[in-house]
Structure 1
Amino acid sequence: MYHWSELSKNYPASSIRKMAKLAAQFDDTLMLTMGEPNFETPESIKKAGQDAIAANHTHYGPNVGEHAFQQAVAKKYTDQTGIAFEPSEVMATFGGTEAILHVMMSILNPGDEVIIADPSYPNYLGQIMLLGAKVVPVPVYEENSFKMQATDIEQVLTDKTRLIILNTPNNPMGSILDQSDMEAIVALADRHQIAILSDEVYESLIYDGKKHFSLFQILGAKENHFVVNSLSKTYAMTGWRIGYVVGNHEAIDRMAEFREGVGFCVPPFIQEAAIAAITGPQDDVRYFLEQYDRRRHIIVDGLNQIPGFKCLSTEGAFYAFPNIKAFGKSSYDFAMEILTETHVALTPGSAFGKMGEGYLRIPFAESEEVLQEAVDRIKAYIIKAYPNL
């Protein structure tokens, strides 16, 4: 190549995938790095996609998405929030990731500031950089159950702040924002005329009888703010790449124009499978939650029985975020030690931001057998290598 762009030279590499590559050197590695369900897409959803292909729904579709898909999502949010949503307030996207990018493209100019939690989902960083905007991290703390607070956000606001990104349930920390948290942040954003993007892709994975509280349950929020969602986690559809953004119709119209030059349209047959998922029986979703709850206890309870580990109980999503500061090592060095000595691949908390140092992210999306084996390997090694803890 004659020249590399500054963006290509500085774009943040995924530490999650980096750890996965390092783990490939061992034949018996237990891969606990990727946030992907080990369940298969339910048969009814696959059949809907197959039927759509057989019916030749394989041509170009509208940039904004098929009208039937928009209707299905609008009805979902109308039923969920008790507030009326219209199909024109929905756009189909390639997973939640593209939805996030389109929201940013519709709002941000170079030099604008975007507030995110620290630790946070790392793909936010690259997308913000892609648009020439600036990341403003807001620390979240274990003693506050890893919840982003309006008072902390307010301290970093400037006249360049244009967007606040929320993620509830949260990746990597497994925390959730309740109604009072969300209402305080929305009130703050509205006072300063700042948009909110609420990433709610783990909405179906909440434990201990708690309920998801969506940004759009707040009256008037949809006029100036956005919810991004995906079918990847809820319906085990990661490879289908189908998600959506919900917001006011003017913003959706602008985003649809961007789609013309980015990906044109989500394939119609994939949207038809998604419609079957959203509108069909939710038995599989309930089953997935039950299984994740069992797995959560294997990881969280198991880690808390290992000397040096301290792990809050996961409230939502399928991640544990244990504190490993007692070992006196960086999260990367400790993750590499665990990988080398036990062949269990974990992601260092530093991959998610400065405040992630001293933690690990451990998905419990694998089978119970794999998770129990991982806990057993780590426990046996720690007891042997750190007898004084």
Structure 2
Amino acid sequence: MLFREEIGESITLKFAEAANERRKKGLPIISLGLGEPEFRTPQPIIDATVAVLQTKNSNYSSPMGVQSLREKIAAKLKNENGINATADNIIVCAGAKQAFQHMMMVMVEPGDEIIVINPSFVSFVPQVYIAEYDCKVVTVDVSKVDFSLQLDEIRAKVTPKTKAIIVNSPNNPAGYMLSQEQLTELFAMSEELDFYIVSDEIYEKLVLDDNKHFSIGSLEEKPTRVITINGFSKSHAMTGWRLGYACFPSEFKHNLLKYQQHTNTNTCTFIQEGMAKAFDISQDYLVDYNGKLSARFKLYNDMIGRLDKVSGIAPQGGFFAFMNISKLGMDSNTFCARLIEATGVATTPGIAFGDHWDDHVRISLATDDKIVEEGLRLMEDFIKTL
């Protein structure tokens, strides 16, 4: 297998070295870097999964996934997202990342072009190139003024070779949410110019204040040109369980079936069965957690308001804030390295999310209130010294 240069381990080396040095010295690190829920996996899911193990119902399943779980996912998409899917449009994978990879493997062909909207999740571009060495990734940045889609620029980048555009809302790393109006325009463009849309919606349940998530897949009568990627890691605190899914147009089913058969056979069956049994549990815990996130983002917004050397656009959903450090005159790797050296606060350099985002830093507010408060306080004091 040939690996393109774009498939790198990390381009945040300077920051990583600073973090490692601090660990070697036994000094504490306040992590505002990872996007992992602080709440516990809901007990009914744990109980249901244990019950499945006790019945020994953990044999092979269909490569596409346990039928009962696929049916419940399809019903969820129809009732909550307005996506008119059936179980035949669903494949269950080991996480949303694998669901995305499966779609790239069956979609992308030599010579295709894939448009990625930056800043973007660090695995999107590598996964495209892993799927097809001989393809082209074209990036289009959202506006640095308000994180809106640059629809005219997207249109200008579309060619007859464009296979798909990848969008992510709520967004990692920037925390923005694409409006129904923007997504409707993008969908109309996809129909006019004939390309697919891959919509990563893994953060859909983590929505701040009065913002509303909108699924672009709801704009078509049945899955035809929109592929929806989602899962349970963020909404159910199941990051390590690895359970995600793709909702896809029926034309991809045969190749997805073959690909899953010859790679993974099937996703872990007892986790699938457990999730199916506990699928309809109350998610009231998200009300409390989203309230906590809103309070933490207020602390972040207040900090930004007190500082004239950095700026930021208020996040609408997800875990992350994307702080603009362009006035500091340093790249994101340098900022993050100096920050962790001086304070022990770990953040993520913006360069990891796109070539034009080296003037931003990602801050995760997913963790405990006290850690967030202390991390932001130390960060503010550090920025004042620059």
Aligned residue identity for 2:217: F
C-alpha deviation, 1:154, in angstroms: 0.4
Match of 1:122 in 2: 122
Match of 1:346 in 2: 347
SS of equivalent to 1:254: helix
Match of 2:138 in 1: 136
Contact 1:235 1:284 in 2 (8 A): no
C-alpha deviation, 1:207, in angstroms: 1.5
Q: Does 1:12 align with 2:14?
A: no
Cα distance in 1 for partners of 2:139, 2:272 equals 35
Q: Show the 5 A alignment for 1:156-195.
A: 156-195=157-196
C-alpha deviation, 1:10, in angstroms: 5.4
TM-score relative to the length of structure 1: 0.93
Cα distance in 2 for partners of 1:276, 1:320 equals 35
Aligned length: 380
Match of 2:19 in 1: 23
Deviations 1:256-297 (A, max 9, x none): 211112211111111123224532111122222222222222
Match of 1:260 in 2: 261
Relative to 1, partners in 2 of residues 1:276 and 1:316: Cα closer, same or farther, differing over 3 Å? Answer: farther
Match of 1:209 in 2: 210
Contact 1:15 1:347 in 2 (8 A): no
Cα distance in 2 for partners of 1:382, 1:376 equals 10
C-alpha deviation, 1:228, in angstroms: 0.4
Q: Show the 5 A alignment for 1:71-110.
A: 71-82=71-82, 84-110=84-110
Relative to 1, partners in 2 of residues 1:18 and 1:382: Cα closer, same or farther, differing over 3 Å? Answer: closer
**Gap runs ≥5 in structure 2:** none
TM-score relative to the length of structure 2: 0.93
Match of 1:227 in 2: 228
Identity of aligned residues (%): 29
Cα distance in 1 for partners of 2:300, 2:199 equals 27
Cα distance in 2 for partners of 1:155, 1:329 equals 32
C-alpha deviation, 1:315, in angstroms: 0.8
Contact 2:19 2:337 in 1 (8 A): no
C-alpha deviation, 1:223, in angstroms: 1.6
Q: Show the 5 A alignment for 1:257-336.
A: 257-336=258-337
Q: Does 1:36 align with 2:32?
A: no
Relative to 1, partners in 2 of residues 1:263 and 1:150: Cα closer, same or farther, differing over 3 Å? Answer: same
Match of 2:199 in 1: 198
Cα distance in 1 for partners of 2:38, 2:200 equals 22
Contact 2:208 2:316 in 1 (8 A): yes
C-alpha deviation, 1:156, in angstroms: 0.5
Cα distance in 1 for partners of 2:359, 2:228 equals 31
Cα distance in 2 for partners of 1:240, 1:163 equals 29
Deviations 1:308-333 (A, max 9, x none): 12111101111000111111111111
Deviates more, 1:352-361 or 1:284-293: 284-293
C-alpha deviation, 1:178, in angstroms: 1.0
Aligned residue identity for 2:224: E
Give every structure 1 segment of 4 or more consecutive aligned residues whose post-TM-superposition deviation is greater than 4 Å: 15-22
SS of equivalent to 1:279: coil
CA RMSD of aligned residues (A): 1.9
